[in-house]
Amino acid sequence: MAQILVVDDEIGIRELLSEILADEGHNVWLADSATAAREQRARERPDLVLLDIWMPDADGITLLKEWVSSGQLTMPVIMMSGHATIETAVEATRIGAMDFLEKPIALQKLLATVRRALRREEPRPAQPLALAAFGRSSVLGDLKKRLAQVSALSVPVLLRGGRGLMPELFARYLHQPNTPWVAANQVLSDFSPDLVAHASGGIFFIDELAQLSSNQQKNLAFVVSKAERSKLRLVSFTAEEPRRLVEAHGFDQQLLARLSELTLTLPALREHAEDIPDIANLLLVQLVETRYCPPRQFATAALNLLRNFSWPGNLEDLASAVRALALTSLEETIGSADVERVLPQYATRSASGGLPLEMPLREAREAFERAYFEHHLGLERGSIARVAEKCGLERTHLYRKLKALGIPTGRREE
């Protein structure tokens, strides 16, 4: 017995499908619009959805795209329409629909299609977090435009930014569908020259240049020498300053120059804080859909607390906090008290993570001050007034100090 959601604005079709499927022993939920279907999908996890294409509030294709981008397309979807073209059916299956039924629907074809869709033993895995699924801030909006602009170029791209940014999330925005993706750190140790030919037309991604050994660098230099001929795109990331990458980590300077022909800086999470509620919701949906945790949702107050935290550990720490909240919250709705219980460990962990002692004194002092103020901004949820009082500084002086250190404030007074 399966849980089947039928979405159609015509009451006659809903009732007919409900009767047929109930006679087959299934539980049937009904929705008369895309809005009702969204609400039902947010509450439940159906085993199958029969989705009409033409509806008054939003069409089924749009709803299907929403489920894909939000990680909720973990069940087979069968599209239905009496007026759709072949192009529409092809588009629906390309997006993620399993099949297409033309109205009026023949009984035997309906039952056969439903049986085939339910034959899956395991639900689809939730889609990984994707940059395309969020980005209401102007900071990320501009970055996505730049990434789209350079995606057609063949030059190597170096992404730079702080630790915990999940650089693969941004690198995959440059990846073209149906082309190879090679996680280079996994293959540079046990390297084969044939790899370049197999990865032709795709992306070769290095997630932290500072972690490469001298032998891995030699193999990478070989890849670089063959990349242009094979139309292989090199995308790499480092959280280190280029000078320190060479001096402290022994990175080959000529290789670094080749890899950084085009450099883009990734923003810290605190620089696009308005995206945090969307990202947190997407992360939580993934956990629920993969049955990592029971059904959970964020209260608005909880999302506001996450948004106002400074997140020194960026996206990785936000993902870790969402996992902790999903597993340890006692209620289905994650509230502000839950968030207040979990957040301090991330501020403390960042501040106590240690500073590299080989830095020049001035750089070490700036690094300590940055960690110190990020720690207290996190504890005080961005309140400049409370941080100034705790640190014994005038607010004006604190604002100047934060600006000099490159720490966004949002000018939150209380």
Q: What homologous superfamily does CATH list for 132-265? A: P-loop containing nucleotide triphosphate hydrolases (3.40.50.300)
pLDDT given for residue 359 in this prediction: 60
Q: Do domains 3-117 and 132-265 have the same CATH topology?
A: yes
For 50, phi then psi, to 5°, come to -100, 115
Say which amino acid occupies 273.
Answer: A
pLDDT given for residue 141 in this prediction: 93
Q: Whose structure tokens read 């139309």?
A: 231
DSSP structural state of residue 75: S
Q: What is the dihedral of CA 51, 54, 59, 63, to 10 degrees?
A: 0
| pTM of the predicted protein model | 0.66
- Residue ranges of the domains in the chain? 3-117, 132-265, 269-414
Query: Taking all residues of the chain, what is their mean pLDDT, rounded to a whole number?
Result: 87
pLDDT given for residue 357 in this prediction: 55
What sign results for the dihedral spanned by CA atoms 48, 51, 57, 63? positive
Q: Whose structure tokens read 């960690």?
A: 371
Q: Which helix (H) or strand (E) holds 253?
A: helix 253-259
Dist CA 413 CA 411 (whole Å): 6
pLDDT in tens, 253-282: 999 999 999 999 999 998 999 999 999 999
Dist CA 175 CA 110 (whole Å): 38
Map residue 274 onto helix, strand or coil: helix
Whole-Å CA distances, 299 to 244, 274, 278, 307: 43, 16, 13, 13
pLDDT in tens, 356-389: 555 677 777 877 887 788 777 766 767 888 888 8
29 bridge partner residues: 5
CATH node for 269-414: 1.10.8.60
Q: Which helix (H) or strand (E) holds 389?
A: helix 384-391
Q: Which CATH class is domain 3-117?
A: alpha beta
pLDDT given for residue 365 in this prediction: 80
**In this structure, are residues 363 and 253 in contact, taking their beta carbons and an 8 Å threshold?**
no
- Name which of 217, 202, 231 is nearest 259 in CA terms: 217
pLDDT given for residue 410 in this prediction: 54
Q: Which helix (H) or strand (E) holds 48?
A: strand 48-52
DSSP structural state of residue 336: H
Map residue 286 onto helix, strand or coil: helix
pLDDT given for residue 259 in this prediction: 95
Cis check: omega of the bond before 295, within 30 degrees of 0: no
Q: What is the chain's pLDDT, residue by residue, as a tens digit (414 residues)?
A: 899 999 999 999 999 999 999 999 999 999 999 999 998 988 888 999 999 998 988 899 999 988 887 778 888 999 998 876 777 878 888 888 999 998 989 999 999 999 998 886 455 555 678 898 888 899 999 999 999 999 888 899 999 998 899 999 999 999 988 899 998 877 888 888 888 888 899 999 999 999 898 999 999 999 999 988 888 999 999 988 888 889 888 899 999 999 999 999 999 998 999 999 999 999 998 888 777 888 899 999 999 999 999 898 899 999 999 999 999 999 999 999 999 999 988 875 544 445 555 567 777 787 788 778 877 776 676 788 888 888 888 888 888 888 877 676 654 454
Map residue 3 onto helix, strand or coil: strand
